[in-house]
Structure 1
Amino acid sequence: MRTFLGAAAAAVLTLSTAATMPADAGTLSGHAAGLSWKRVDLPHSHQSLRGLDAVDAKVAWVSGDDGGVWRTVDGGATWKDVRPDAEKALAFRDVEADSALDAQVLAIGPRGQSRIYQTDDGGRTWALRFKNTEATAFYDCLAMFPDGLHGLAMSDPVDGKFRVIATQDGGHTWKKVDPSGMPKAKDGEFGFAASGTCLVTAGVKDAWIASGGTAARVFHSTDYGQTWSVAKTSIPPNADGGGVFSLAFTTSKVGIAVGGNFLEEDNGRKMTARTGDGGATWVRGGNVGGYRSGVDWVPFSSTAVAVGPNGTDVTTDGGKTWTAIGKTGFHSVQCVGTISTTCWASGPDGMVGRLRGLPKG
């Protein structure tokens, strides 16, 4: 069932966004006025890009559903194909990058298709660091902690609990986390490999997992993923393809969740939630323009950007209200920077965007 949902999600989203490409004019208000996407697409590629990690305004990595991995070091003006050559058929749904040289990519899928590769030379060579051997595991997301050494990857439930593996050496080795610290999953509960943000980290040791299907919940760990608590959200679950798709935390306490049902891409009512206590409780956020697969905070602000197949929404009040800024469909979004901020997005058919109009400092 999980494999079908993953394949169906990719097919539905690719088809639904193909006709909504460039028009990015929207009715804007307040600090969202003037925001629009500048396209910096991959050349000669039609892969769906759900893996995205930006290092800064110049360096970003994206990965695709047909074994593709690309890197730019000039803000998207040019892209270099740096895929692991031997694995062209794998679906790389998540990227974690530390620099223009150091990155990890997660391939999703049943059994041995779920893998983690790592490079330290900009993608010239890759090392296989993890290959799943559990028959019922299906890995969805990968996240590293701010120290660059600790990291987690999560799978849909195995034996009734979400499976988590952890690294303490920057991704060189991975070990299964003792499942006794993970609450039981509901029957039919799973994660979405939609944007690489169903698992996120913030602070020093905090991590969160988003779920969907028969439950729309958020799991929270304060000890590098060893033990977890779980809380309901206001986002409605849906066994056919709904729930929480993406999380973003600006501190260890303040976070946003977005989601919906990928089979109802224009329904954005009740599809955001927010927390101020690290995810112990969630309250309903403002409505958005439709199902949203990715969200991220603009650093050091109350502004966040959410993307989905029918457009982009921006909040400037921590998720209470949202404003539509365009109809171009993206899967994933990430905002980076300190003195100046850049938001990147990736989507179907090799699409990549950079958000224009953000404050410079």
Structure 2
Amino acid sequence: MRLLGVGMCAAVLAVGVLVAPAQAAPAAPVPSGPQADAVAALRGAHWALKDTGKDSRFRGLAAVSRSTAWVAGSRGAVLRTVDGGRSWRDVSPPTAVAEKLELRDIEAFDARRAVALSIGEGEASRVLRTDDGGATWTETFRNPDPKAFYDCLTFFDSRNGLAVSDPVDGKFRILSTRDGGRSWQVLPGAGMPQALPGEAGFAASGQCLVSAGPRDVWLATGGGSAARVLHSADRGLTWRVADSTVPAGDPARGVFALAFRDRTTGLAVGGDYRTGEASPRAAAVSTDAGRSWRQASAPPPGYRSGAAWYPYTRGTALAVGPTGTDVTTDGGRSWRPLDTGSFDTVDCTPDAGCWAAGEKGRVARLERP
């Protein structure tokens, strides 16, 4: 969506307990195995800032492991760490830097292979790929349509992926790759429902288009009369649409990020991105692959632009935004504050490495006591 140049400066408070017992609540069953280990690891966890030496706004984040992560952001910046954030290598594509492209999403398969998306009208929307850790980049797609504006990327595996554009001629446009982002084709629009007037995606965190498993993908929208979630079970060929409970009705409101734990259980977060504007009902949960959505009973207190499930737990997830981080331990039904620092996006890895990134070069990893 053609907005989101906003930011808010807030100091990180590296405090807070991620998993705390609810007052007067009955004792929950004690988890066992990997889930018990994950819950125990989160007690007392906090964000630890990792100095990037940059002041770019990093809305693109690809966490590979606790040690390896990529971030992409304003003015063509791309950084990579392979030592848990102790040091960062500037691997920015020279053309992206020269043209000051806005890199709003990055997807990485490992420490060497990554695909980045720049946003904007017409030719500003591009896809770049590296196979050598960012030493060199190849532009694999440049949008030829002045009416298209690409927002987000997602990959099902190391070969199959999609990118989404705001509606063109009344429908969201889907771009597909079958070779890891080396080439791209626009998918037919016959299976895409009509967009609402003013409806679009938000290029806020690289999470307006997300996938789970080999074929399922979801698209978050806002700006129209309703904030909707579209779901495809065939890699973007056909879609079904559902209204979320997140308020819309304004170009600045809607669902900004989705996170699916598997092909049935998902979270939606968003609100109104404008500083000082209220964002009630800014979170919802689905347990039927996005066919229906229930409002969170205790949502985050403000706009949230990113979300991620914590691995090996059934109900623990994080949501981030310019005014802080919130955590849920009951599958998104209720959220509680974790931190007041500003972040735009969050991502977690199978080895329990959770990373967050945002304005003024801020990148952090979730640390245990």
Pick the TM interval, shorter chain.
over 0.9
* The 10-residue stretch of structure 1 (299-308 or 245-254) with the greater mean CA deviation from structure 2: 299-308
Task: Say whether the 8 Å CA contact 2:310–2:316 is kept in structure 1.
Answer: yes
Q: Which amino acid aligns with 2:47?
A: W
Cα distance in 2 for residues equivalent to 1:41 and 1:223: 41
Give yes or no for contact 2:17–2:46 (8 Å, CA) kept in 1: no
Are positions 1:23 and 2:16 aligned together?
Answer: no
CA 1:282–1:320: 2 relative to 1, 3 Å: same
- State whether structure 2 residue 211 is matched by structure 1 residue 211: no
- How much does 1:65 deviate? 1.1
Deviation at 1:203, TM superposition (A): 1.6
Letter of the 1:85 counterpart: P
Which residue number corresponds to residue 289 of structure 2? 278
RMSD: 1.4
- Structure 1 residue corresponding to 2:307, chosen from 295, 302, 313: 295
Aligned-partner Cα distance in 2 for 1:27–1:356? 11
For 1:197, give the aligned amino acid: Q
Q: Aligned partners of 1:266, 1:189: CA distance in 2, in Å? A: 20
Distance 2:116 2:163 in 1: 11
- Specify which of 127, 137, 143 is matched with residue 126 of structure 1: 137
Matched, 1:245 2:256: yes
1:335 aligns with 2:335: no
SS of residue paired to 1:123: coil
My pick for the range that moved more, 152-161 or 237-246, is 237-246
The one of 310, 333, 358 equivalent to 1:320 is 333
CA contact (8 A) 1:244 1:260 kept: yes
Q: How far is the alpha carbon of 1:41 from its aligned partner?
A: 2.6
1:184 equivalent among 182, 189, 194:
194
Point out where structure 2 has 5 or more consecutive residues left out of the alignment. 22-38
Correspondence for 2:62: 53
1:72 equivalent in structure 2: 81
Taking the aligned partners of 2:273 and 2:43, their CA distance within structure 1 comes to 28
Q: Percent identity?
A: 46
Partners in 1 of 2:69 and 2:16 — Cα distance? Answer: 27
- What does 1:134-283 correspond to in 2, within 5 Å? 134-145=145-156, 147-214=157-224, 215-264=226-275, 267-283=278-294
Q: 1:333 Cα shift?
A: 0.1
Tell me the number of residue pairs that the alignment of Structure 1 and Structure 2 aligns. Answer: 344
Residue pair 1:289, 1:311 contacting (<8 A) in 2 also: no
* TM-score normalised to structure 1 length: 0.92
Shift of 1:238: 3.4
Structure 1: runs of 5 or more not aligned: none
The structure-2 alpha-carbon separation of the partners of 1:99 and 1:265, relative to structure 1 and needing over 3 Å to count, comes to farther
Distance 1:116 1:275 in 2: 31
Give the Cα–Cα distance (whole angstroms) in 1 for the partners of residues 46 and 281 of structure 2. 25
What SS does structure 2 have at the residue aligned with 1:66?
Answer: helix
Kept in 2: contact 1:27–1:324 (CA 8 A): no
Measure how far apart 1:258 and its partner are. 0.2
Q: State the distance in 1 between where 2:160 and 2:227 align.
A: 27
Give the Cα–Cα distance (whole angstroms) in 2 for the partners of residues 249 and 344 of structure 1: 17
SS in 2 for 1:349: helix
Distance 1:201 1:167, change over 3 A: same
Counterpart-to-counterpart distance in 1, 2:111 and 2:327: 28
List 4+ stretches of structure 1 deviating above 4 A: none
Q: Measure, in 2, the Cα distance between the counterparts of 1:238 and 1:347.
A: 26
Instruction: Tell whether the 8 Å contact from 1:149 to 1:170 is kept in structure 2 after alignment.
Output: yes
Cα 1:303–1:268, aligned 2, differ >3 Å: closer, same or farther?
Answer: farther
Q: In 1, are the aligned partners of 2:232 and 2:239 still within 8 Å (CA)?
A: yes
Partner of 2:355: 344
Q: CA deviation at 1:221?
A: 0.3
Q: Quick one: distance in 2 between partners of 1:287 and 1:163?
A: 31
How much does 1:187 deviate?
0.5
